[in-house]
């Protein structure tokens, strides 16, 4: 199992400070997770990914996070001039490093 969270939302409990939403369970059984977020996302602030990353690390979950200065929200797989365009390749490589694909080098 694995998880890929691109520009996630509803993870940060803003009313209680920099705390994970209690409705989002994170345990040592949470699968390895790849997080991806653009810092200029004006729909779901980058803190969503940051607070989730910290919770995953504290639970001992294998997690990889990539933050990009530009990309906005809902960038998906569309090609742009920004480095965030390469995220799908990074996921493919990461899947290899966790044993989900046969070739960790792409």
pLDDT-based confidence at 106, cuts 50/70/90? low
65 has a pLDDT exceeding 70: yes
Handedness of CA 84, 88, 91, 96 (dihedral sign): negative
**Predicted local distance difference test score (pLDDT) of residue 19:** 87
Cα 50 to the chain's mean position, in Å? 9
* Average pLDDT estimate for 49-63: 97
* Average pLDDT estimate for 85-104: 90
Q: Considering only residues 64 and 84, tell me which one the structure prediction assigns the higher pLDDT.
A: 64
80 has a pLDDT exceeding 90: no
**Predicted local distance difference test score (pLDDT) of residue 49:** 95
Cα angle for residues 62, 35, 28 (degrees, 5° grid): 30
Residue 31: DSSP 8-state = P
For domain 3-97, give the CATH superfamily: Alpha/Beta hydrolase fold, catalytic domain (3.40.50.1820)
């Amino acid at each position: 199992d694995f998880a890929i969270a691109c520009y996630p939302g509803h993870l940060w409990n803003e009313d209680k400070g920099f705390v994970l939403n209690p409705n989002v369970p994170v345990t040592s059984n949470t699968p390895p997770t790849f997080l991806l977020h653009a810092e200029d996302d004006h729909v779901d602030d980058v803190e969503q990914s940051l607070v989730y990353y910290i919770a995953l690390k504290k639970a001992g979950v294998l997690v990889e996070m990539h933050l990009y200065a530009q990309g906005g929200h809902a960038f998906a797989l569309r090609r742009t001039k920004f480095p965030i365009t390469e995220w799908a390749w990074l996921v493919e490589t990461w899947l290899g490093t966790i044993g989900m694909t046969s070739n960790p080098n792409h």
